Every structure is written in structure tokens, then in C-alpha cells.
């Protein structure tokens, strides 16, 4: 990696200032000299080619292991359904506790009033 051209600091600056903005659109805003700009673009392209893994997204994963992906989706759906069920049970528990505590409070108030 050629540190004379400041590739890594430029990438860090880009991440800080622009977030996910395309680096090719960002680079000309910080590099004025055309020959330096072209050299940096060439180095960045070489860096990405050498060190970044090839694109391997959902479509590729689905093709590689369709049965596992289907099972994974089924399990996630099951988990979400159980979480929804658990929320309903928790609501029921809270309501019973609230009613119980209200009844205790009313009994205590009644005994204090007597």
C-alpha cells in the first residue's frame, strides 16, 4: 500500500464526512490535481480488487444453500410467532398483577377506614 498518496486517510476522511456516499464522487472534492486524482483512483481500484471479497449477497447465498435458507426463514417466522405469543401472555400477567394489587390496596384502605 502506497502511503505517500494517503489512501487510508482519504478513505477515513470520506467515511467521516460522507457516510455511504460513493467514493468516486467524493474523491474529487478533496483532491484538486487531476494526475494525483487519477493515481489515487487507480490505487483505490487496485486495493479494492485485491482486498475486498467478491460480492456474495442474498441471491448467491440462496443459490448456494436453498434448503438451509428456507429452514432459516421458517425458524425465524416461528420465533417471531412465539415472541408475539409471549407478548400476549406477558400482557395477561401484567393485567392480573395490576388487578391483584388494586384489590390488595382497596382491602388495606377499607381496613384503615374502619
Q: What is the per-residue burial (b if ≥16 Cβ within 10 Å, else e) of 49-75?
A: eeeeeeeeeeeeeeeeeeeeeeeeeee
pTM check: above 0.85: no
State residue 47's pLDDT score. Answer: 86
Of the candidate ranges 4-13, 26-35, 51-60, 89-98, the one whose mean pLDDT is the lowest: 4-13
**Least confident residue range of 19-23, 53-57, 93-97:** 19-23
What one-character DSSP code corresponds to residue 33? Answer: -
pLDDT band at 99 (very low <50, low <70, confident <90, very high): very high
Q: Which residues contact 24 (CB under 8 A, 6 or more apart)?
A: 41
Amino acid at each position: 500500500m502506497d502511503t505517500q498518496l494517503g489512501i487510508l486517510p482519504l478513505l477515513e476522511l470520506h467515511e467521516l464526512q460522507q457516510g455511504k456516499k460513493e467514493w468516486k464522487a467524493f474523491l474529487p472534492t478533496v483532491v484538486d490535481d487531476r494526475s494525483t486524482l487519477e493515481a489515487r483512483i487507480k490505487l483505490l481500484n487496485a486495493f479494492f480488487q485485491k482486498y475486498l471479497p467478491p460480492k456474495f449477497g442474498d441471491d448467491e447465498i440462496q443459490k448456494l444453500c436453498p434448503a438451509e435458507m428456507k429452514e432459516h426463514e421458517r425458524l425465524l417466522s416461528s420465533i417471531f410467532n412465539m415472541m408475539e405469543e409471549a407478548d400476549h401472555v406477558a400482557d395477561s400477567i401484567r393485567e392480573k398483577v395490576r388487578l391483584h394489587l388494586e384489590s390488595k390496596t382497596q382491602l388495606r384502605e377499607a381496613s384503615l377506614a374502619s
